[in-house]
Structure formats: structure tokens, C-alpha cells
Amino acid sequence: MWYFSEEEKQIRDMCRDFAKNELAPVAEKHDTDESFNIEAFKKMGDIGVLGITADPEYGGAGMGALAATIVMEEFGKACASSTLSYLAHSILCVNNIQNNASKEQKQKYLPKLITGEHIGCMGMSEPEYGSDAVGIQTKADNKGDHYILNGSKMWITNAQYSDIAYVYTRTGNERKNLSTFILEKDQGHFTSGKPIHKMGMRASPTGELIFENAKVDKGQLVGNEGDSVYHMMKNLDIERITIAGISLGIAQACVDQCIKYAGERSQFGKPIGNFQMIQRMVAEMATETEMMRNFLYNTAYEYDQGKQGPVVAAQVKLAIPKMATKIALDAIQLHGGYGYSREFPVERMMRDNKLNEIGAGTNEVMVMIIAKNLLELNKQ
């Protein structure tokens, strides 16, 4: 992209090499074993991307959504699962602390999260509250000098491995009276439940966070009581933009695999790339991927300039994962029986991408956000 800075180009090249050497060679194994590539995750701290949006004062890179999206695409090409865990740590935990926590809290938590010494997660969804995030029921009772937390969070990426959890709770009876806490596993603030076995993103650990009469100091509260809705909304835009970056990476990986396969696989005495139907499939997949790339990076660039908000972030989140699923399905079709088998990576890519149509707000929720805002604008 013409607007990539030299630093962003360097990050792209560095992450491309990292993904090729540390993620791609073991992606299939970790998917099969449902195991977390924690060795590669720790090395992400060594190359300086775990705090991509955090201030250099705390060890971060001090960059924005555009740089974070670059990382998502490059990692996502190789292993979407590892990239999802990266997103949960760097965007849902680190970026939230960077944007919302006090200076003392940043000094306490960010350095170890940014080096990879600590792993982070974010707790929003609950067993009975997913799309209706404001309805959460995990409760924090104010006891004067501390809080007592009870409840649970479900579908939490990195749950079993997290040292730090950025968690939304209820602190009052009103629907929007929600508050945010930074919780520490070593302090007994939370435990994790059994791992959740998933269709895709199998190498990204997913589980439950459990709070049972957890005593939490007042110093763990982020901002003031009742600030959580603001915290949620503030971070959702960059989450939706960056998770779309994973889908872009998956789509590009599918295109690359199809081009390679079309040149290697022969039928009727010649490579299948000579057949017009295959040519059409590859051409359309590549064109759709380039459309995705331009839409996504333009949005991330303008987001960093303060020119884009919830509507365009929702449009990116709606369009790009849906298109990537289509491309992955087309890639399976192009590969025929081999595409449906686990001998080639396209079936894993399809399984992984489906999560991106659900996480960070389902396709249906994105439609609601877009339509509501557009219709309200038309009334003015």
C-alpha cells in the first residue's frame, strides 16, 4: 500500500519471515493436536509485536491499527489460530490497558505483557450473554476497600494460559452499570475451566474464566465504576478491523495455495491451470482478495487518522470474513477431493476463518450496527 511507512513495511517483512519460520511449519501439527504454539508466542515478544499499539514508555511499538492489521495478515497466512491468540493478547488485553488504565496500572502490567513474560486475555462473553454484552451478569460487590467477584466468562481466547485478564463485570443493578478490572491469576482472582474443543482455530486455546468469591483490591478497578460500556465500545472498532486482517491473511493463503496446486495437479494430460473454469476461479479469488485488502487497509489507515468509526469498522468486519469463507470454500472446490482431506491446508483455513464471522460480533450484529446507523443518518 502506498501509505505504508518505512517502519510498517519493515514490520510486514519481519512478520512475514517470522510466520514462515515459526508458525507455518508447525501449524498443521498444532491444529491436529489442539495445542498452543507457546514457543512462537513468546518469540513474538522478542520481535516487538506483542505491544504493537502500546506506548514505547512501557516497551511497546507505539503504532496503530494499520500496523496491527499488517501483523494479523502476515501471521494469518501461516497460522490463523496463533494469530487469534496474538489478537486476544495484543488488542483485547494490552490495547485496552494502554487506552483505559491508569499510569500506575500500565507501569505494573504492560512491560511483562509486551515482552511475553505474561500472557493476557479479555473477559466479556458469558455462558448466557454473547451478542448482548451489556447484559453480563458477573458481579463485583463493593466491600469498601475491596471487591468480591463472582461469575464466569465463556469463549475466552488464551483462558488457560493467561496470567492477566481484562474483565468486564456488573457493579450495579442498572443495565449499563458495568465496571472493568485487571485481574491476576497468581493472586487467585480467577481460574480457568476445561478447554473448549472447536471446529476451527484449534491451536488457539479457548476456555472459561471462573470467579468464585475472588477478593480484588480497589487498585484493580480500571477508571471508575460504570465505565465498562465506554471501554467496550472504544476497543471494539480496532478489534473488528484487526480480526478482519486474519481473514485477509487466510484468503491470500488460499489464493497462493490454489495457484501452486493449479500448476502441479494434472488431469486429462495437462495441468488443471490450463482449464478455463480453474482460471476463472483463481482470477476471481485473487481479485476478491485484492478488494478485501484495499478496503481493510484504507479503513485501518483512516481509523488511525481519526476519520473512521463504528460503521465502517462493522462493514469491514461483516464483509471481509464472509468473503474469506467464500474464497476458502472455492479453494476446497478447486482442490477437489484433496481439498476436502487434511492433506492440504485449505480445509483448515476454511474452518479457522468461520470463527471470524462469529467472534468480535457476529455477522448479524454487524448488520444491525450498520443498518441502525445508516437509517438514523437518513432521518437527519
- Provide the grid cell at 20: 514462515
- Predicted confidence at residue 333, as pLDDT, reads 98
Residue 239 annotated among the catalytic residues of the structure = yes
- Provide the grid cell at 343: 492433506
Identify the DSSP state of 135. G
Catalytic hit among 8, 239, 288, 357: 239
- Predicted confidence at residue 380, as pLDDT, reads 55
Helical residues (DSSP H) of 101-186, grouped into ranges: 103-115
User: Residues 312-344: pLDDT tens digits?
Assistant: 999 999 999 999 999 999 999 999 999 999 999
Interatomic CA distance for residues 201 and 34, integer angstroms: 9
Q: Where are the beta strands (DSSP E) in 145-251?
A: 146-157, 164-170, 178-184, 191-192, 206-217, 221-222
Residues of the chain with pLDDT under 50: none
Question: Residues 238, 65: contact at Cβ < 8 Å?
Answer: yes
- Predicted confidence at residue 324, as pLDDT, reads 98
Element containing residue 286 per DSSP (H, E): helix 276-304
Domains of the chain: 6-119 (1.10.540.10), 121-228 (2.40.110.10), 229-378 (1.20.140.10)
* CA geometry: angle 198, 203, 204, nearest 5 deg: 80
User: Residues 242-262: pLDDT tens digits?
Assistant: 999 999 999 999 999 999 999
DSSP β-ladder status, 164-170 and 120-123: parallel
- DSSP 3-state assignment of 198? coil
End-to-end CA distance of the chain: 36
- Predicted confidence at residue 17, as pLDDT, reads 98
Element containing residue 255 per DSSP (H, E): helix 228-264
Residue whose C-alpha cell is 473454469 = 277
